[in-house]
Chain A
Amino acid sequence: MAHGNSPAAAHHSGERQHPTPATYAKIATTLVLITMLEVGIFYVQALHSVVIPIFFILSVIKFALVVMFYMHLRFDARLLAWVFVGGLVLALAVVTALIGLFHKGLLLRP
């Protein structure tokens, strides 16, 4: 247990215990496997017409695993999740708006 931690205070902020090193190892293995899958898909010419949604889904999974388990957002206070997700949603909105304004063809690419 981390020094200076008070279970009562941790409960007050909505925090829970963090994962074990074994869980971290499973997450690392999953991340490596997904990345290998991405690189493998990259070399399959037949899939190049659908790589954007495939890569998008795979990178969202990797992103979420790191944020939830390595950054402990799944176990920390809910407020921290709202702060980060708020920034993330705003960033996605900015990206979408900028591309929509200046490069509509990219969004409408068949």
Chain B
Amino acid sequence: MSQVAHAPEHPTVTGIDNRKLLMWVFLASDCLFFGSLIATYLIYFGRSVVGPYPHDILDIPVTSVSTFVLLLSSFMFVLSLAAHTRGDYKAFRVWVFCTAVLGSTFLGFQVFEFQHFVHEGLTPRTNLFGTTFFTLTGFHGAHVTIGVVWLLTLFFLSLRGKLGADKNLAVDLAGLYWHFVDIVWIVIFTVIYLTGVALGPGVGK
């Protein structure tokens, strides 16, 4: 065991720092946000009257690679948090920068995928699949983008020496957000990509 959990900056009734509690409340509310988007996708699943349908267009090998990239980024971030906690700021910067690069790579995959889909004739206005797919994955991509900006902000703050030991909670909070983005993708990858395509040609029609 290398790290000790955070104690609040000021005494609180719960003994938990209010900022950390707020982050968890936000993440709980974001579960509802993404839950609603996933439910909407599932409600309209198989109700598109024109193609392209999920099995026509979703590319499992490419998306699998981007999924591995995002999983790896989460691992990089826990290493960066561990480094920051033990006071190894150089290692922290290396790992947090790697996390941001992997997050950007994931976004690159998403941009590539979206461009490919548009080229193949699937836009948000094409059919119900396009509308719900782009809305769900687009909002996830927006979350990843915010996460990458947050990670790079931490990197540059650390470079300027403004992310010392007293800011460990700030790193922890960024990590909670980043891992949340990862778990949302775990659900999206399973529900939209693997299950949607595996259920076969009949599902999209």
Contacts and interface: CB of A to CB of B under 8 A. Distances in A.
Interface of A: 1-7, 9-10, 12-21, 24-25, 27-28, 31-32, 35, 38-39, 42, 48, 51-52, 55-56, 58-59, 62-63, 66-67, 70-72, 75-77, 79-80, 83-84, 86-88, 90-92, 94-95, 98-99, 102-103, 106
Contacts of A56: 190
B34 to A, nearest CB: 7
B115 interface: no
A32 B75 CA distance: 11
Contacts of B200: 48
19 contacts: A5-B4, A10-B5, A10-B7, A13-B15, A15-B16, A18-B3, A35-B67, A51-B194, A59-B190, A71-B175, A77-B16, A79-B21, A80-B24, A86-B28, A91-B32, A91-B34, A98-B39, A99-B43, A102-B43
Given A75-B5, A103-B44, 9 more contacts: A15-B16, A16-B5, A18-B4, A35-B67, A38-B190, A80-B16, A92-B35, A106-B42, A106-B45
Nearest to A75: B5
Contacts of B112: none
B174 to A, nearest CB: 12
Contacts of A25: 75
Given A66-B179, A103-B43, A2 B168 contact: yes
A52 B3 CA distance: 38
A32 B16 CA distance: 33
Chain A contact residues: helix, strand, loop or mixed? helix
Chain B contact residues: helix, strand, loop or mixed? helix
Contact of A67 (B42, B183, B194, B195): B183
Contacts of A31: 71, 74-75
B153 interface: no
